Structure 1
Amino acid sequence: MKYTLKILNWLSSLKVSIVLIILIALASGIGTALPQGEPLEAYLSKYQINKFLGIINGDWVIRLQLNHVYSSNWFLGLLFWLGCALIACTWRRQWPALKKAMIWIDYKDPKQIQKLAISKTFKIQESSLGIEKLDKYLTSHGWSVQNKTSRLAARQGLLGRVGPPLVHLGLILLMIGATFGVLKGERFENFLAPGRSIDLISPNRSNQLSIKLTDFEIERSPSGVPEQFRSYLSLNNKNSDEIISKEISVNHPLRFKGLTIYQADWALAAITIQINESPKLQLPLQKFNELGDQVWGVVIPWMNKENESILLTLSSEQGPIKIFNQTGKQIGITRPNISSFKVLDKQIKVFDILPSSGILIKYDPGVPFVYIGFAICLLGGVMSIISTNQLWVITEDDKKLLHIGCLSNRNSSGLANQLPIILKSLSLYE
């Protein structure tokens, strides 16, 4: 039992909680700085020479589970440890403090009041009248009053004592929600061109949802820099034949039956061209990272008898489209829907460029816990600001003296300034 109490004392200590919060914050920083969830080969190749933080190579990034920080065993262990510390602190400190605050403290001796940090003694004409006036005044100003013969006890702001346990409860729910979401949540990212759709089926196959991209817009600044992306979605719940049309954009996701659909990215999907008098050809575009961060292109082979190929590259749905020969030399430039151009004895015309929307779909069963936990934390934080004030009055009938003292857990100076106002407004003293 002795060792158990020592462990509980250590778990519920403020120092341990602060250290745990610092470690979790540092881990979250690493998870933000280091790309998460990429293929293992990407970490091995990227950090084998240029080490992460200058000391951790790709192999150790994987061994330390830094490639998935938030679902790593050590990060979940830190969350569990902090949760245990909060539970222990609430059980051993906050809850007893709250129960103690609920009990009325009845001072019967004037000496007890005189020992308080804020106390005064006044000569009064009639002690019973003083107690009665104080009772009415304090009650009208939001104090709870317990009136007894020749003495009075009052308190205000008891809700402030409820705040800290609520904050602890909210934090625990937040961590439960985060952990539950990491372990049971799923995410799926895909690029959709207008007119294309994806079908989602629940694990028990009881629900089937079809998400179709009806249109996609890229809003650009006058200089051509993307500023906003908008996807217009049609959601078809095939169980009920319900069809809903919604719009999503960056920072404005869609929440639908436990799913959160984000506007995550964009790309260029296809280019429509015509070679000589051929039918229109819609050719899929692929990304060329070696040519730049946002460069897509397509190789068109066998443009002449020598089997020469050309490369079309572009970085915007508005163009321009650059044309390169097999040696990498730029041999032309054009834009959609202008006159055709001649390349290697062939006439080529570009009609349009089809952009695609990067849709991120997340299923996170921990979201309700996170929202409820955050709301409780916010409520508890606001309540914790409230000062809990206590006031006691004892009268000595034979000496015609009134002794008044008070305490505040957060705002002693404010209460000290309030006390003369209370007494002056009641004209209790000679």
Structure 2
Amino acid sequence: MTADNTTEKELNWFSLLKRSIRQDLLPILTDLRLAIVMLLVIAGFSILGTVIEQGQSLAFYQTNYPEHPALFGFLTWKVLLFIGLDHVYRTWWFLALLILFGTSLVACTFTRQLPALKSARKWKFYERPQQFQKLALSAEFDDASLNSLPEILQNQQYKVFQQDNTLYARKGIVGRVGPIIVHIGIVVTLLGSIFGAMTGFVAQEMVPSGETFKIKNIIDAGPFAASQVPKDWSVHVDRFWIDYTPSGGIDQFYSKMSVLDAQGKEVDNQTIYVNKPLRHNGVTLYQTDWGIAAVRVRVNNSPIFQLPMAPLNTNGKGRIWGTWIPIKPDLSEGVSLLAKDLQGMVLIYDSKGQLANTLRTGMSTQINGVTLKLLDVVGSTGLQIKADPGIPLVYSGFAILMTGVAMSYFSHSQVWALQKDGRLYVGGKTNRAQVAFEQEVLSILDKVNSASTKNQKEVSLT
């Protein structure tokens, strides 16, 4: 086999592939019904991703989506995890849907929208009276002149093209550009969503007041998210506190936080609360939860002990934290401390489980000959941390989309005129706002008729 034969076969194969794409694949991709179905499917799974909690632990899904009884008779934690409904926006099939939908829009733009725009930009002169019969709006004048029409149309914001005894005018070409801009906006939004899903991450941290932390507890992340997790800065929780209502309920909880660079120098300082996050270098820290981290106590004249407190199981009857404090050197006896909030009050139970006393911050009590002083109840801030590098693209795509939608509301209106055999033929059409266009054309025709009558009077007077 010669090189020429090989090259010829490769060219034939490429030609067949190109023809197959053009004749078989493109009609499917540009089918409006396919685009609508994909859009509905994407919307449906997006709703599921909103309803079903994303990025939670296995225990969470086992508790909330048990096998018996299964939600709706089939949705169990096993089904949910197998399909990927715990991280919908990062699954391969959801990303494939976005890519397919974007490909469909791009194909439609190049095969339909751009040719339609190119056709709309061409000057189209009608040179035969029969062509005006196909227009929804048309009229004939016996003694009118084509020369009176350009000024009338220009006053109506039309762009006029005239050649000998023919005229073509148009306005609202931006309405033809609008759908293309809409497609561009949607594609940019999809690219931003895909980029964010591939490179973004979600983390959770529970940090005691006064501690410094780096983001480590990643609960959901894209395959290329490692580069987005900050390694050259950390966050110090200067203080965490809660404002309570007069009835004892939580009004708001706050975290005063400092961002530190690699050398420990403060580069930012903000107080965050619910709906007011801290943003730094593309990472957003939300205030979402709180807890009790520790108590600081002194036994007799001992140094200050900071003892960690752990959440206790109350079977859904509220949140409470507890710890155990030894009151004998051999650790053979101790007392339990329980706290339910950061208002500085703790309950003390002796070794027999009996309530021994109630203390507030700064108060002391005697237990079995030991003086126990409560110095502080240390709170911890619960943070949800997110990074989504695709958000600027998503916002840009949405802005482009809204611009395209606004542009699409402009009507693309066209008017033709022909002067032939002593008669003037005028007609027009538009792609939307038919009633307004009819009124506009009737107004133009009235002005043409008035100009014709005026010319006839001037001629008769002469």
Q: What TM-score do the two structures reach when normalised by structure 2?
A: 0.79
Kindly report the root-mean-square deviation, in angstroms, between the aligned alpha carbons of the 2 structures: 3.4
Residue among 301, 318, 325 paired with 2:343: 318
- What aligned pairs does 1:21-420 form with structure 2 within 5 A after superposition? 21-44=39-62, 46=64, 47-122=66-141, 127-138=145-156, 141=157, 143-199=158-214, 208-238=232-262, 243-275=267-299, 278-292=302-316, 295-302=319-326, 307=333, 309-314=335-340, 316-318=341-343, 320-323=345-348, 333-337=358-362, 339-340=363-364, 348-396=372-420, 398-399=422-423, 401=424, 403-420=425-442
**Corresponding position of 2:222:** none
Query: Are 1:127 and 1:397, in contact at CA under 8 Å, matched by a contact in 2?
Result: no
Distance 1:368 1:294, change over 3 A: farther
Query: Are 2:284 and 2:385, in contact at CA under 8 Å, matched by a contact in 1?
Result: yes
Letter in 2 for 1:69: V
Tell which deviates more after alignment, 166-175 or 318-327: 318-327
User: Structure 1 CA distance, aligned partners of 2:170 and 2:415?
Assistant: 6
User: Structure 1 CA distance, aligned partners of 2:317 and 2:108?
Assistant: 50
Query: Runs of 5+ in structure 2 lacking a partner?
Result: 1-18, 217-225, 454-462
Query: Are 1:310 and 1:325, in contact at CA under 8 Å, matched by a contact in 2?
Result: yes
Query: Runs of 5+ in structure 1 lacking a partner?
Result: none
Deviations 1:266-310 (A, max 9, x none): 323223344555554333222234354761312224458973642
User: Structure 1 CA distance, aligned partners of 2:384 and 2:420?
Assistant: 75
Query: Are 1:162 and 1:383, in contact at CA under 8 Å, matched by a contact in 2?
Result: yes
Structure 1 counterpart SS, 2:168: strand
Using the TM superposition, give the Cα deviation of residue 71 of structure 1 relative to its aligned residue in structure 2, in angstroms: 1.5
Distance 1:261 1:396, change over 3 A: same
User: Structure 2 CA distance, aligned partners of 1:99 and 1:78?
Assistant: 30
Structure 2 counterpart SS, 1:392: strand
The count of corresponding residues between Structure 1 and Structure 2 is 422
Distance 1:66 1:97, change over 3 A: same
Query: Are 1:135 and 1:147, in contact at CA under 8 Å, matched by a contact in 2?
Result: no
Structure 2 counterpart SS, 1:9: helix
User: Structure 1 CA distance, aligned partners of 2:46 and 2:384?
Assistant: 22
Query: Are 1:123 and 1:429, in contact at CA under 8 Å, matched by a contact in 2?
Result: no
Tell which deviates more after alignment, 144-153 or 214-223: 214-223
Distance 1:225 1:384, change over 3 A: farther
% identical equivalent positions: 32
User: Structure 2 CA distance, aligned partners of 1:301 and 1:211?
Assistant: 31
User: Structure 2 CA distance, aligned partners of 1:91 and 1:328?
Assistant: 77
**Corresponding position of 1:8:** 26
Using the TM superposition, give the Cα deviation of residue 208 of structure 1 relative to its aligned residue in structure 2, in angstroms: 1.0
Query: Are 1:127 and 1:396, in contact at CA under 8 Å, matched by a contact in 2?
Result: no
Distance 1:319 1:373, change over 3 A: same
Tell which deviates more after alignment, 44-53 or 165-174: 44-53
**Corresponding position of 2:458:** none
Using the TM superposition, give the Cα deviation of residue 212 of structure 1 relative to its aligned residue in structure 2, in angstroms: 1.8
Using the TM superposition, give the Cα deviation of residue 348 of structure 1 relative to its aligned residue in structure 2, in angstroms: 4.6
Using the TM superposition, give the Cα deviation of residue 228 of structure 1 relative to its aligned residue in structure 2, in angstroms: 4.0
Distance 1:196 1:420, change over 3 A: same
Using the TM superposition, give the Cα deviation of residue 221 of structure 1 relative to its aligned residue in structure 2, in angstroms: 4.5
Distance 1:265 1:391, change over 3 A: farther
User: Structure 1 CA distance, aligned partners of 2:120 and 2:183?
Assistant: 18
Letter in 1 for 2:210: G
Distance 1:205 1:121, change over 3 A: closer
Structure 1 counterpart SS, 2:451: coil
Query: Are 1:303 and 1:310, in contact at CA under 8 Å, matched by a contact in 2?
Result: no
Structure 2 counterpart SS, 1:67: helix
Structure 2 counterpart SS, 1:105: coil
User: Structure 2 CA distance, aligned partners of 1:3 and 1:151?
Assistant: 42
Query: Are 1:120 and 1:404, in contact at CA under 8 Å, matched by a contact in 2?
Result: yes
Tell which deviates more after alignment, 379-388 or 40-49: 40-49
User: Structure 2 CA distance, aligned partners of 1:235 and 1:353?
Assistant: 24
Structure 2 counterpart SS, 1:290: coil
Using the TM superposition, give the Cα deviation of residue 179 of structure 1 relative to its aligned residue in structure 2, in angstroms: 1.9
Using the TM superposition, give the Cα deviation of residue 333 of structure 1 relative to its aligned residue in structure 2, in angstroms: 4.6
Deviations 1:301-350 (A, max 9, x none): 44589736424030x3225544556777666555445x445666665554
